[in-house]
Structure 1
């Protein structure tokens, strides 16, 4: 790529950001998630597209992805009502931990049988694609205005916002097994518990202090309130990570705690963080699109199709039905919808950069398969969510037309 002056580089960046927004809006008009437009524009601007931008810095992409996910999760937490969380906390946490583990296990077996991966490589691929993506789920539910009755939407949002830590932990564990031959699995359980407890504690502390600072200072009405909210998200993630906790969980809990406290600047902070989350999505998906070389995907079409359909029709449904079996308030219709609403987005692609940075064998194959899975599942599941909600009778307005089917009366 030719060297650009700072002025030209900033101009190109501005044009790319604006064009990405238009591409996302255009894809939404065709019933596709906005992330499809974001990714496609990034690929068009990349080395295989007319833009011709050569970008292959996986470490930088990983850093951009992590930074963007912090604000996406923080904003998602701010917009989540604590009353909804309390109602679905137990099933959501079971699904966010056990569900991810079950999905990862099934996908590991599939990768071992279909792709010839070693058990650890298969588990690495399974862990990367096992979690649903908070950015994709929040975006599709809110942009479509999908109004579901009962606790189904709360369950989907809380699960998607809290299952990334489990996926990240499993990816880290798989990388340790691959790169450190004498790594002991005995240390995994206490390490996982420590990460979750510290992440939740630090997130709660950061989320509690944000309103207190704004209440007691002169910044509650000015633009510096926005700066303080950004600082809260970054401190939550950074401090939790430094202490050995899970930074992504801390960012989500910080947003959840701050968003459910009353303070005078709460509305403008929420609006600002929502805009910042959208900017983070645009930047993240654009960067990921630039990183993708479409010509490299031709070799993974067949395995990508197989992995995608196993994930959508076997791994995700099995994990949902197993994890939600003890919770009778969710009937089979709700479980089926939750299974289908498990959208994949940027998180798996960001996680797929970890094996490349770590120098894991077959890392580039894993990356290309993960991107193919995300792209295909978004194009299939995203546009059909509204249709499925109608077919299953889960829309709130459908309650007016008649009673809920007997098998789902507990919804």
Structure 2
């Protein structure tokens, strides 16, 4: 019997990897494809796999979210995020709250729900999933102008804790009507504070341990990082903090520090994040019964429309009042508010808490997510072009060499593009007067690579792959690559 389970799991994973090519080619969000595959494999589909266990689905979802958020933090450049830190925090807190309140009252009006139950539904669908956004943008070969990309990255990585807090808090109020809503305010600040502080401490501790523990086998470093990620989440949650915020901050802090085996650890967690996304979406797809969705189609469409065209835009506009973002940028940010796996996971909380109308909430949330991904996910690229916010996406060059930093060695391998007006153009490397600790390792020239020597002449459009510490690299950039 175990063999059949393994074959089924392997088959679903293999098909998921293959259908991701559809996302790359046609710009269909991978989230939608994975969810659809899970629904086809479920009891209402040809797969016939019966799965109706919200507890298991929630457990899988929480584990997956922990690893996805940590991987997202590792891949976040804090130098870029710092420029939009205030706006990102406002969107992930105030923006989520406004979206939840307005959507909640829409649900109360349309479904005639008790106020707290309607607000609970609004809270569940209040967070965004920008991972699908960037897969669509990459598949169409465009990027975004200005600080839009770091803003969306920061919001998507940090707004889940607010939605989770609102969902759990409202469930507590429904189950214990005598509890004061004001008591949740102090709990919110405690969760955010503990999550942020523990995340910073654990990020630094992880960096220190990885550099100093001196394990005998490189393959044990991913195991170490994985253990510390789960430890961070568990300890933070037990202490009353936001474990999801803690692991995201831990990833940011670690990702912006130098540590040994950096490349292999980044690849490990990136692959693990993809595995967790597939597992999470397949599980959630299996959990839903598609035959029950038509009954909520009408109200689901109205709630989705209210969320996309009223709640989310107002949340964005009110949160970004006084910011330097233009109106077209704010409009784009509001349209990019895709709903993803988090709302579906949060919809399992009322099921387990046996809240009245819990099944109705789950089905509507699933329908809203599908509508959001179908409508918004497939129109992000046209929206960016229509608002004139798109920019050509520069393909990342793959070099024939790799570099693994060693603890105590501060140099990094970085790219230095040679603009047409650079003093380097037309000169040999030996004539540039480069610092002794600035080593040109390789030159990328058009579609070829050049092994450099002192007599190699630099040409406009070259990209130098150089080994140097950050201070020396910045100094050479200022001296030899003046702004155009």
* TM-score (structure 1 length as normaliser): 0.93
1:121-168 deviation digits (Å, cap 9, x = unpaired): 110000000111254345445555541121111111100100000000
1:220–1:160 distance in 2 versus 1, CA, 3 Å: farther
In 2, Cα distance between equivalents of 1:208 and 1:136:
30
CA distance in 1, matches of 2:248, 2:140: 23
Determine whether 1:130 maps to 2:120.
Answer: no
Question: Alpha carbons of 1:341 and 1:221: their partners in 2 closer, same or farther (altered >3 Å)?
Answer: farther
Partner of 1:185, secondary structure, is coil
The whole-number CA distance in structure 2 between the counterparts of 1:110 and 1:142 is 34
The yes-or-no answer on 1:330 pairing with 2:332 is: no
Q: 1:368 aligns with which of 349, 363, 367?
A: 363
- Distance of 2:45 and 2:275 partners within structure 1: 23
Residues 110 and 299 of structure 2 are in contact (CA less than 8 Å); yes or no, is this contact kept in structure 1? yes
Matched, 1:108 2:66: no
Alignment coverage as a number of residue pairs? 393
Match of 1:90 among 72, 77, 86: 86
RMSD across aligned C-alpha pairs, in angstroms? Answer: 1.5
Structure-2 change in CA distance of 1:363 and 1:113 (3 Å):
same
Change (3 A) 1:170 1:262: same
Which of the two has greater strand per residue?
2
SS at match of 1:325: coil
Three-state SS of the structure 1 residue aligned to 2:211 is helix
Answer 1 or 2: higher relative contact order, Cα 8 Å, separation at least 6.
1
Question: Is 2:369 the partner of 1:381?
Answer: no
Of Structure 1 and Structure 2, the greater helix share is in 1
Residue of structure 2 aligned with 1:204, choices 200, 217, 238: 200
Q: Which residue of 1 aligns with 2:146?
A: 150
The structure 2 residue matched to 1:354, chosen from 339, 349, 353, is: 349
User: In 2 relative to 1, CA 146–77 (structure 1 residues): closer, same or farther, beyond 3 Å?
Assistant: farther
Retained in 2: the 8 A contact 1:102–1:315? yes
Partner of 1:342: 337
Q: Which has the larger radius of gyration?
A: 2
Distance 1:219 1:201 in 2: 28
**Secondary structure of 2:28's partner?**
coil
CA 57–162 in structure 1, closer or farther in 2 if over 3 Å, else same: same
Query: Matches of 1:385 and 1:137 in 2, distance apart?
Result: 7
**Alpha-carbon deviation of 1:286?**
0.3
- Check if 1:167 corresponds to 2:163: yes
Q: Contact conserved, 1:203 with 1:236, CA < 8 A, in 2? A: yes
Contact 2:328 2:387 in 1 (8 A): yes
How far residue 25 of structure 1 moved from its aligned partner, in angstroms, is: 2.7
Structure 1 unmatched ranges of 5 or more: 399-411
Aligned twin of 1:179: 175
Is the 8 Å Cα contact of residues 195 and 246 (structure 1) preserved in structure 2? yes
Give distance in 2, aligned partners of 1:48 and 1:238: 36
Q: Is the 8 A contact 2:27 2:140 kept in 1?
A: no
Tell me which residue corresponds to 1:279. 275
Equivalent position of 2:387 in the other structure: 392
**1:214 positional shift:** 1.4
Residues in 2 aligned to 1:258 and 1:184: alpha-carbon distance in whole angstroms:
39
1:48-99, Cα deviation, whole Å (9 max, x unpaired): 1111111000011000000000011000000000112211110110111000
Query: Does the residue aligned with 2:377 lie in a helix, a strand or coil?
Result: helix
Cα separation, 1, equivalents of 2:140 and 2:126? 24
Q: Equivalents in 2 of 1:99, 1:67: separation in Å?
A: 26
Offset of residue 205 of structure 1: 1.6
The aligned residue for residue 270 of structure 1 is: 266
**Structure 2 residue aligned with 1:408:** none
